[in-house]
Structure 1
Amino acid sequence: MDSETVHIREIETVASHKGKLLRVTFEQRRLNGEIQRREREVYDNGDSAVILPHDPHRNTVLLTRQLRLPIFLRDGTERTLEACAGKLDGALAERRIVKEMEEELGYQIAKVQRLFDLYVSPAAIMERITFFTCFYSPADRITEGGGLKEEGEDIEVVEVTLMEAASMVAAGEIVDAKTVILIQYLSDRARASQRD
């Protein structure tokens, strides 16, 4: 774990339930050569995957609306619009996101397109998120979705046009970073294909 410029001195688990809150003491060689001792708290809640399904014929996307406690505690917003996502829990990202789509959205999709991996908040959170999109149609719907009750999920499936989703971002109705990234990505791709 050590490198030429970073040396880990101590990792202490401060809290451990669904994830781990770690206190890390390390030394870092600064650009000027000076050694600086630092301490940071890092949250490791596992890697995840996210997907924004797109129906190119109707130009629609599928979103979820559900309680996100940190947003509620901060802003009082009870239900947040976001893309379908889930923790990997050791599974391959492609397999896990297909299962999440069935559980949360009620759609069965055989093929997804992996886009990229990103760290959304790398200053304090270790989570790496794999981003996906896929094509879907109403014929792919197999259940009402809604998530798994035993996991506390109570998810509303929301279908809007890609243009409506982009307007919701601009209006501050969609505030989840991974969802904004996917909407922007699909919007850019749609504009590029219209020019071709």
Structure 2
Amino acid sequence: MSDRRPGHDQPDSRGRTGLHRTGLDLSGNPDVRVRDVEVTSDGWHVLRRTTFDYRGRDGEWTTQARETYDRGNGATVLLYDPIGRTLLLTRQFRFPAYVNGHSDGMLIESAAGLLDGDSPEDAIRREAAEELGVGIGELTHLFDLYMSPGSVTERVHFYAAPYVPADVAGGGGVEEEGEEIEPVVIGYDEALQLVADGRIVDGKTVILLQWAALTLFG
């Protein structure tokens, strides 16, 4: 039976169709059989409830259901000055952190953003220019990580790249999207201390700083 709601068989406000079919064709795991996909919210991003059969280690099949939040994939970059041993980060208000116990919601983070149809490399170059006013030259790909695999589908592509402080100009984010992003230059040693004392609490940024401790400034 055809469901004529927007985002299913009719394009929604972002031109999407087939939102209720994601996952039905999965076949990589013989112990999982997807039975049904229900879109429970299809605003800017998509929340689905998927029912599937799962075969456990004992060979028994059970029927389970999981909600997944699909906001697309993203990319992030650690911008570093190898001569001055500094990092170029962002500072911005994050309401989800604020409403969940962060004192003022102002988080120090690495530059990042959703791919929005671009390749990961193009996306992070775009975000670095928009947020920090930096044109990235050589990019080093580090790894791709699922940041919250229990409920969020997003896979984040991690990069590192050198920057020259004198070349930083502009930035601040995209005003039409409500972004107000402050570029922050922090010494590498200070950044590690900010992690230790709880002033840097963004997961992707902590991961990048740990990579830097092992690889970059060790």
User: TM (normalized to structure 1)?
Assistant: 0.94
* Secondary structure in structure 2 of the residue aligned to 1:39: strand
Q: Give structure 1 regions of 4+ aligned residues with deviation exceeding 6 angstroms.
A: none
Q: How does 1:41-80 map to 2 (within 5 A)?
A: 41-75=67-101, 76-80=103-107
Could you tell me which runs of 5 or more consecutive residues in structure 1 were left unpaired when the two chains were aligned: none
Is residue 48–residue 68 contact of structure 2 (8 Å, CA) maintained in 1?
yes
Q: What is the identity percentage for the equivalent residue pairs of Structure 1 and Structure 2?
A: 41
Could you tell me which runs of 5 or more consecutive residues in structure 2 were left unpaired when the two chains were aligned: 1-25
Q: How does 1:179-194 map to 2 (within 5 A)?
A: 179-192=205-218
The CA RMSD over aligned residues, in Å, is 1.1
Q: How does 1:41-190 map to 2 (within 5 A)?
A: 41-75=67-101, 76-141=103-168, 143-190=169-216
Deviation per CA, 1:63-119: give whole Å up to 9, x if none: 111111110111142311111000001100001101111100111122211111000
Residues in 2 aligned to 1:190 and 1:15: alpha-carbon distance in whole angstroms: 42
Deviation per CA, 1:103-136: give whole Å up to 9, x if none: 0011112221111100011010000000000011
In terms of Rg, which structure is larger?
2
* Secondary structure in structure 2 of the residue aligned to 1:95: helix
> Deviation at 1:191?
5.0
Residues in 2 aligned to 1:82 and 1:191: alpha-carbon distance in whole angstroms: 19
* Secondary structure in structure 2 of the residue aligned to 1:107: coil
Higher relative contact order (CA 8 A, sep 6+): 1
Residues in 1 aligned to 2:161 and 2:167: alpha-carbon distance in whole angstroms: 12
**Structure 2 residue aligned with 1:28:** 54
